[in-house]
Amino acid sequence: MIDWLTLVCPGEIVSPEVRDQLTREVGMVMKVDATGEISWMKPERKSVRSDSHQLTVEMGADLRVYGSPARVGLIRTDNVFGSGDIEECARRMINFVRNVERVELPHYKRWKLKKLDITHNYDLGNLTNVKTALEMLRHVQGDRYQVNTSAESVYWSKNSTVRSGKAYAKGPHLRHLKKKGTAGVSDQEIEACDRLLRLELQLRRHFWDRLERDWWTVTESELDRYHSDYFGRLVGDVVIDEKTDMEKACIAAAIRLGMTEGYGKAAAMAWCVIRSEGFQFWQDKTPRSTMFKHKKILREAGLSYADFAARNVVPIRRRRVILNAPVKSWGELMKTA
């Protein structure tokens, strides 16, 4: 589902009437230099509220509208589940601002998309399993994936302007939102959400700036693929049974990659070393070019960065939570409660 959109309307197509309406009842933010001269001045951000729905409107050089479309224009007021249709979400957000502020805004195809968050929820059975999975994921990083952690969340490439990832427990997060009065959920629904591990992919401004097509043509299935491609390298979506013959799996993987059977056998031996001595030991003892070839084969055989970091299969994979099979609705979640 799409959990966040940042939409920008170029200032030159915003009418003076709209600009005046959106800045009429807000304060001004200004920068004053050392001589006391005003360097610049702009209106404050404006929150557009209706019950527990909330978007933020910012009228500066351009008009920016951002927030969660999952909480706008729907019967439910939470952001646990929602739509994966970019066009629908953009229209809903723009129409909401148009109706509340009573202004005429440009058609959504004249706006630019600067940020989109796509999230999937995975049922791990209980909150303990979710916390265990998060603890394991705190140690997972590889290539350009740089991990950062907070008390309740794990972040990858947090400062990237292209894409970044986040994992967190949805139940505690929903409790926090309910306490703030921004999520209309029952206690039973919160308890059900305690089972959910949430994986969030943030596609940021450089991703959309480099997209060689109109942003509204990106389909829900493409967003799902972006999500699975990103987290598949971190978590993995193939369960490796301990009884699996890793040598056969690695040989088959090497052949698929156009390498020799010998490379496959060597990669299987490398995995044995990783399992017994740890990834760092193997990395320090292996030539760089050989290490990359073996990692490529092991990834093709179904292992993930989590396996290299933890020496075993992370809990979310042992429970056979597959990345392309998230929980997608309240009905599906409550049915297994």
Report pLDDT for 315.
41
Is the pTM value of this prediction over 0.75? no
d(C-alpha 79, C-alpha 82), whole Å: 7
C-alpha triplet 289, 273, 304: angle, nearest 5°: 70
Residue whose entry in the numeric block shows the structure tokens 């909330």: 54
Report pLDDT for 321.
46
Q: At what angle do helices 127-137 and 170-180 cross, to 10 degrees?
A: 110
Report pLDDT for 207.
97
Report pLDDT for 121.
92
Residues 235, 137: contact at Cβ < 8 Å?
Answer: yes
Report pLDDT for 87.
95
Amino acid identity of residue 135, one-letter, is: E
Q: Is 44 helix (H, G, I), strand (E, B) or coil?
A: coil
- Non-local CB neighbours of 173 within 8 Å, separated by 6+ positions: 152, 198
Amino acid identity of residue 17, one-letter, is: E
Q: Which spans in 184-323 are helix H? A: 187-193, 205-210, 220-232, 246-256, 261-277, 279-285, 288-300, 305-310, 315-318
Q: Where are the domains of the chain?
A: 1-110, 116-236+326-337, 246-301
Write out the two tokens for 277.
Answer: 């001595």
Quick count: other Cβ atoms within 10 Å of Cβ 33? 9
Residues 28, 60: contact at Cβ < 8 Å?
Answer: no
Q: Is 37 helix (H, G, I), strand (E, B) or coil?
A: coil
DSSP code of 215?
G
Residue whose entry in the numeric block shows the structure tokens 């509204």: 216
Write out the two tokens for 42.
Answer: 């702009």
Report pLDDT for 317.
43
Q: Is 81 helix (H, G, I), strand (E, B) or coil?
A: coil
Residue whose entry in the numeric block shows the structure tokens 């050089």: 61
User: Which stretches in the chain have pLDDT values below 50?
Assistant: 50-52, 237-243, 312-321
Residues 169, 134: contact at Cβ < 8 Å?
Answer: yes
Report pLDDT for 316.
42
H or E segment and range at residue 212 = none
